[in-house]
Copies of this chain bind each other. A is one copy, B any other.
Amino acid sequence: MEAKLKRLKEILAKVKDLQYAQAVLGWDQQTYMPAGGAADRAEQLATLAELSHSLFTSQEVGALLEDIAPLANDLESDHEDACLLRVTRRQFMKATRLSDEWVAEHARVTAVAQSVWEKARELNDFELFRPHLERIIELKRQYSSFFLPYDHVYDPLLDDFEPGLKTSEVQAIFDTLRREQVDLIQAIAARPQVDSSFLHKKFPEQEQWDFGVEVITRLGYDWKRGRQDRSAHPFTSSLGFSDVRITTRFHKNYLPMALFGTIHECGHALYDQGLAASLARTPLADGASMAVHESQSRMWENLVGRSREFWVFFYPRLQEIFPAQLGNVDLDTFYCGINRVEPSLIRVEADEATYNLHIMLRLELEIALMEGSLEVRHLPEAWNDRMEAYLGLVPASDAQGVLQDIHWSFGGLGYFPTYALGNLIASQLWEQIQSDVPDLDEHIRRGEFAPLLGWLRENIHQHGAKYEPQILVQKATGSKIDPQPYLRYLRKKFSEIYAL
């Protein structure tokens, strides 16, 4: 039994190596690769994906998992090997249940759909994209059918990003959230707007880069086990267990883009840099879920990086670097400016208070499409109706509405809710940290982040993918994912800023 477990771990280590190799190729593709390399790189990535898939789904792995199953029953459920077997069995089941035809067809359809979507957005022509999206929805329903029986047709999609989480749970959470968040935004909209014009001055790139580095170094980013580069879209990627890199991008006339983007990616990276060493080269060397990962990036970006305490420490330094731009802007004005709330059409530009409504709208539409209660041809109207109800805005064009995100075109249904859940989990953890870590606010005002990072390392990071997200959140906070802490956080913060 022990020998079989050892053999399984050897194979899993090689699968992990191949995944890291893909990460290296992907990182290079987005940072330094010359244009000519694109076609070759696609072939290389396809070959690596194929080999890693066939290595993981081999008969040998299947037989080993079956043979070792009794061992898992003997172990405590928290034992690392028990977790490893649980997660591996789950991934093996998911990887082997799909038909080869479905995998090939999905790859073909989404490859075409992505380029059609690009064109459709450019031409503001939803009809162009419609048949492709219809085919994708069909394929996604077929996908779910591989995992019958399920409680809800959307469950198998959600499960790819949030292991174990049910559609009904997410719906219950969002039902609570929806009305309260809409009310809050309407209350804010009725108040005078805060000033943020000073954020739109000229901020030279090198100084932005240097300040970002200074900030994340203090937050705890380990440069010996990572690095930062530029890319068109910021991302965090593990190129090895001890090689967790981030990227950022700059806007010369808008300070927040690079600054909060860098802190956001640092939040992801701190998670991956904090995994227990014993998880290296196993499937557990990963985050618990997309939402838990997002909770880390959002916590550092928003609960830390957009807090008054944070800027008590960093603002004098920022003013020193940009005296002409910020010398005459006081801390309170700056703090309100970086927290300005303004309903807008585009998700990726949304502020902290409106962001989740963009997500809810998408989730509701995805569920309706999967259930069949909404047809793709009625999607633009459904989108616009909800935008008006939630944010009081109607897009002037589909390009600014239903066509704005790439996700559906690559078949990423089930992905959106993780963004919003990440916000909720961040606030929920934050209340717990406030109660566990004495003087947390004072630490932050002094630029001391070790107590916060220590709590996260202990309660979240070290566990990697050992637990499903609901179980991990329960272990860390005593309850499952709960929207109330997030609502309390929003109400408190914005009541103050907008004098509600």
Contact = CB atoms under 8 A, between A and B. Distances in A.
Interface in A198-247: 222-227, 229, 239-243, 245
Nearest to A50: B14
Contacts of A226: 34, 36
A17 B34 contact: no
Contacts of A39: 240, 242
Contacts of A223: 34
Given A28-B239, A34-B243, A43 B222 contact: no
A47 interface: yes
Contacts of A20: 40, 44
A223 B226 CA distance: 28
A473 B17 CA distance: 41
Contacts of A346: none
Contacts of A36: 222, 224-226, 240, 242-243
Nearest to A225: B36
A57 to B, nearest CB: 15
A278 to B, nearest CB: 15
Contacts of A21: 21, 24-25, 44, 47-48
Nearest to A18: B47
Interface in A53-74: 55
A46 B16 CA distance: 13
Given A24-B28, A34-B224, A223-B34, A17 B242 contact: no
B281 A41 contact: no
A227 B44 contact: no
A39 B240 CA distance: 9
A423 B39 CA distance: 35
Nearest to A14: B47
Nearest to A29: B24
Interface in A226-275: 226-227, 229, 239-243, 245
Contacts of A281: 40, 43
Interface string A18-37: 10110011011000111111
A48 B19 CA distance: 11
A5 interface: no
Contacts of A37: 225, 239-240, 242-243
A245 B33 CA distance: 9
A44 B224 contact: no
A189 interface: no
A227 B32 contact: yes
A393 interface: no
Interface string A136-169: 0000000000000000000000000000000000
Nearest to A43: B17
19 contacts: A17-B46, A17-B47, A18-B48, A20-B40, A20-B44, A21-B24, A21-B47, A24-B25, A27-B28, A32-B229, A34-B226, A34-B243, A36-B225, A36-B240, A37-B225, A37-B240, A40-B242, A41-B240, A51-B51
Nearest 4 CB-CB pairings of A with B = A40-B240, A37-B243, A36-B225, A36-B242
Given A18-B48, A24-B28, A37-B239, 18 more contacts: A14-B50, A14-B51, A17-B48, A18-B51, A20-B44, A21-B24, A21-B25, A24-B25, A28-B239, A34-B226, A34-B227, A36-B242, A37-B240, A37-B242, A39-B242, A40-B240, A40-B241, A40-B280
